[in-house]
Amino acid sequence: MPVKNVIFDFGNVLFDLDLPSIERHFRQYFGERFEAAGNKLRHDRVFELYETGGLGTEEFVDTLRFSADPPLAADQIIAAWNSIFVSMPKHRFDMLLRLRKRYKVFLLSNINELHANWIDDYMVREHGIADFQARYFDAVYYSHLIRLRKPDREIYEYVLADAELVPEETLFFDDLEVNVDIARQTGIQGVLHPAGKEIEEVIMASLL
């Protein structure tokens, strides 16, 4: 079937990230407590809960603050948490506009409120774009708002149903193989975006 829809992951597909930055900051802040604190936070599913809207921002920040001894300041936590963001170059915005002339274009991201707010601020501050979501996408699906996350099959089924998409007519780009694999199980044409490769090259190869 011809492709009619394109779904993008956000981080390290459209927006360049420095994912290890959070760990670098928290290792510095937590010191010898880092491993134990990290294990407890993962055991309590703190990051997953925040990413699916099950934990508010204030509660999330406080949970991390008081995992350190002595407790950290809220602005330290927020700065470390948002330190992963690098940039989204202008040519990717132009690419999205070109794609929208021929396809429906969507954004599907595992994300949280702090990161979503940072991105909105970045778009205005660095690119003068106040309507990022509406200008570049037919719809945006953020995990913390729809309370589903990749790679759970339900999130793909939700997007297909909500946007009324035929899976076989839909391309999905993600940088994690597990996310691509589960998308394919729903009938979507999942494409892995290799690390270090420009997304435009991957798109061109996939749409030819």
At 64-96, the pLDDT tens digits run 999 988 999 999 999 999 999 999 999 999 999
Q: 5-16+88-207: which CATH topology?
A: Rossmann fold (3.40.50)
| 73 closest CA partner among 65, 64, 84, 63 | 65
Between 172 and 70, the more confident residue is 172
* Sequence-distant (≥ 6) Cβ neighbours of residue 121 within 8 angstroms: none
Asked whether the predicted pLDDT for residue 208 surpasses 70, the reply is no
Chain mean position to CA 83: 14
Q: 91 is written with which tokens?
A: 């040519």
- pLDDT higher than 90, residue 151: yes
Nearest to 108 by CA among 45, 62, 54, 152: 152
154 SS3 class: helix
